[in-house]
Structure 1
């Protein structure tokens, strides 16, 4: 097909790269613009003195989602990434308990672990995991891969017959749901911590998200050798193979629109149509014409900074009612010698972790001790540090508030950020039994909420994106298609289906459905047929292009 419609993707994070590749394969002429010198968005990396750090996501969950996405482009996860299954999946340290708990994946292993800690809990946790499995499978079939443009496709027997339980799980908080299965505080925290992946607390997350326990406790936790930069590199290669043109150091400044020439009937009340995007590239200002624009950067930034007032779908009052999720202080440490006390993933749970969640929600000082996360990638990938050394990544959830400041190298960050980092290092050293940890640090860098605001235009300096509370989940989260501007779509953590790497890959597929006008609920058949743009003369066609309803 020649004369393909032109798409401009704003933002080169995982969602932007994934969206660009799918759209190009579907027959669009696509170019992607990223404001930073490298693509990846929140999936960043940092290297110093032979130490290599991931500065963003570090958990590889939902392997089926990655496998499906690569399959859409005619590839496979095993061809793109060298994956290692982690054993244990993670290690958990608990305030007031001298010995940590190693959590291994698999129903039998988890059932035995829970029964050993709380006699009689084994059968209950088996029931919990079965519910998590069936809920997850239903979510994949009906809720994760849909645009919610129409609710009719959701009226299916598997949804209707479970409507009562699903409704209860949407209104019952996760912590109360967990309490009906286990009583031991440690087990409650193991089941509740995935809420943090969703940008919220167990007391504020709907219990439908107990499905997350199927992912880490049953499906398992993986790690891509070379770090998560390997995922970004793979997405770049796939996108460019589909014909996507990628521009870095190209910052979007304006999304251009025009008043629509005709009055549309029905429910389509959009007043404007997209015409192009202007970018600042060094000292130059460039405007690129476009039939379709995909805002894959932070949604608040796209709506409030790139569009005029009349073209915005979300008002200031809408944003004032949103929960931005937590911010974070990240601490990157190069450590001399070994730290076998820590697993690849280690979780540190304060006894009163509700106090920590409350401090985040109220923008108060983080308590000490805090509930924190530590990644030791050298446990699975020794090449990430020089011989005889380890690298550690500490994450302390804090309020989403840029006023806390920026991080820095070797303690040069703002005081509030460095104080949180110092407290976290002391806590890890004490709880994990590494008393000389601070003295063995040879490389140190911190990252604070203002860095997230600067680097990825994160709304309020949030580390993850809009929290998955009941009011910000599924169809309440907001559509991925502008209500005011025809041809303007959204992808990424702030839109459907949500935050996290797998969700960003799904977001790209949901975007493609929105552009096509496809209201189906499940994943698309893989691989996607190649619809040539005329620039892919070396690619065989699988038949004539199907009739298409272009975005209007």
Structure 2
């Protein structure tokens, strides 16, 4: 008989793991608490507008290609990709912006225009970032974080210094222009920590940004989820929605099943792609690996205040992805990581997928997604959300030189309380556990429970870390551990 695996959650990591396990002969069933699959990568459809609720950036296309190739497929079998040009635009104020285009040569030129001599410096920086990318993404991140020795290779031995320096230090050694510094420090926000706390080795994110470019799946990031669902179902995976896991049954320190909507589901293995902290609360206290004090001491990636806005007209002076860095970058970072409070003058991100993708909005209209990074667990109320929307929309109007407030058809918001309610997210974090030096690889929460046999975890709070590509990799890693556990 086939061994059975019950998977809690249906995000990128869970779907990836389900595909690998089903391919290798397991009977796999997914249980998703929400009405639709995708975890944080769900979609909002309203009045002809389509919004990705969660991830909106498609970076590291090679990781997606590698995932689908493991099943004899390509991304093109499931969705259509377009490389964005420009990749994104960074606004520093009215008539003050830098556009990041779709090739390194164009980006070198943009840097040189801003600061003489910076093109050559950037070229050297990107060469180093590419070297790190080849070590990290093609090798290290596909290791399961079981032992410190996983990080010890001839290649990493040569890079030892970059694990103990920081992105911030390395960038500032070469670049003095504050705008260029902010652009180079921006990608590590995807890792969930300040550049001053992120090891310099993670400059591979700059290669992901500049070297590999920014892409868009036609129809939105949810098309990737739908493609993975199609693949999973073709492999025999069963998927249940509106099916919250309420308890994990343990007998003789071995996971034996889960309780879903009052029904006991027996299983040989339990794999949770849900929030790690929440998953452990489904266990008897003696079977939990990490006490509350463990989670309290961890550095979490930010939460977010998001707005999904339908505009009744096409907007001017916008790109698919835009960053608004017209306020103090460091001050906002301190509010998130050091002070855990609402920023007074937040930086924000805006995405207008309808600039690229006609399917995102009705003809002649615009789909807008606005995001403010926040400290986890800050106070959240409708009044605060309204206050911050007015803050950013007034700045947006001034910087892009247009009136939009009277052209809003509707607006939905999503913040800390929603992350807790929809995803059982610890402190309402949006991106998981930050990749700081002491929260990297084997120092992250384990893929395999050390207290309960046949219980496993996957996703952004475990190995390798936050982000969509790492989640795909996490699914592959945990599937490998489950396969090895029966040998």
* Fold shared, TM-score > 0.5 on shorter chain: yes
CA contact (8 A) 2:2 2:26 kept: yes
CA contact (8 A) 2:348 2:370 kept: yes
Q: What residue is the counterpart of 2:389 in the other structure? A: 421
Deviation at 1:488, TM superposition (A): 0.7
Q: What residue is the counterpart of 1:177 in the other structure? A: 170
CA distance in 2, matches of 1:327, 1:343: 24
SS in 1 for 2:36: coil
1:431 paired residue among 375, 399, 402: 399
CA distance in 1, matches of 2:415, 2:293: 27
Asked if residue 490 in structure 1 is aligned to residue 457 in structure 2, the reply is: yes
CA distance in 2, matches of 1:90, 1:443: 25
Change (3 A) 1:447 1:152: closer
CA distance in 1, matches of 2:153, 2:195: 30
Deviation at 1:333, TM superposition (A): 1.0
What are the Cα deviations for residues 176-197 of structure 1, in whole angstroms up to 9, with x where unaligned? Answer: 1110121111100110011211
Deviation at 1:340, TM superposition (A): 3.1
Deviation at 1:478, TM superposition (A): 2.4
CA contact (8 A) 1:175 1:192 kept: yes
Q: What residue is the counterpart of 1:544 in the other structure? A: none
CA distance in 2, matches of 1:72, 1:6: 22
Asked if residue 321 in structure 1 is aligned to residue 257 in structure 2, the reply is: no
2:225 paired residue among 220, 232, 238: 232
Asked if residue 113 in structure 1 is aligned to residue 116 in structure 2, the reply is: no
- Between 358-367 and 83-92, report the one with greater CA deviation: 358-367
Q: What residue is the counterpart of 2:319 in the other structure? A: 343
CA contact (8 A) 1:105 1:216 kept: no
1:500 paired residue among 460, 467, 485: 467
Q: Which has the larger radius of gyration?
A: 1
Deviation at 1:235, TM superposition (A): 1.0
C-alpha RMSD of the superposition? 1.4
CA distance in 2, matches of 1:402, 1:19: 33
SS in 2 for 1:8: strand
Aligned length: 486
Deviation at 1:140, TM superposition (A): 2.3
Q: How does 1:24-103 map to 2 (within 5 A)?
A: 24-95=22-93, 98-103=95-100
SS in 2 for 1:403: coil
SS in 2 for 1:485: coil
What are the Cα deviations for residues 297-352 of structure 1, in whole angstroms up to 9, with x where unaligned? Answer: 0101001x211111111122211111221111101111122113110000111342
CA distance in 1, matches of 2:299, 2:16: 26
Q: Which runs of 5+ in 1 are unaligned?
A: 260-271, 406-413, 518-548
Taking structure 2 as the reference length, what is the TM-score of the superposition?
0.97
Asked if residue 254 in structure 1 is aligned to residue 230 in structure 2, the reply is: no
Taking structure 1 as the reference length, what is the TM-score of the superposition?
0.86
Deviation at 1:171, TM superposition (A): 2.3
CA contact (8 A) 2:300 2:376 kept: yes
Deviation at 1:5, TM superposition (A): 0.8
SS in 2 for 1:453: helix
Q: How does 1:379-390 map to 2 (within 5 A)?
A: 379-390=355-366
Deviation at 1:114, TM superposition (A): 1.1
CA distance in 2, matches of 1:491, 1:483: 14
CA distance in 1, matches of 2:162, 2:424: 33
CA contact (8 A) 2:199 2:437 kept: yes
Q: What residue is the counterpart of 1:276 in the other structure? A: 257
CA contact (8 A) 1:255 1:274 kept: yes
Deviation at 1:422, TM superposition (A): 1.6
SS in 1 for 2:2: coil
CA distance in 1, matches of 2:415, 2:139: 37
Q: Which structure's residues are more often helix, by fraction? A: 2
CA contact (8 A) 1:45 1:55 kept: yes
CA distance in 2, matches of 1:228, 1:286: 33
Asked if residue 459 in structure 1 is aligned to residue 459 in structure 2, the reply is: no
Change (3 A) 1:217 1:392: same
Deviation at 1:74, TM superposition (A): 1.7
Q: What residue is the counterpart of 1:550 in the other structure? A: 486
CA contact (8 A) 2:144 2:463 kept: yes
Q: What residue is the counterpart of 2:207 in the other structure? A: 214
What are the Cα deviations for residues 8-57 of structure 1, in whole angstroms up to 9, with x where unaligned? Answer: 00011111111111111111111010011111110021121111111110
1:130 paired residue among 127, 132, 137: 127
CA contact (8 A) 2:104 2:210 kept: yes
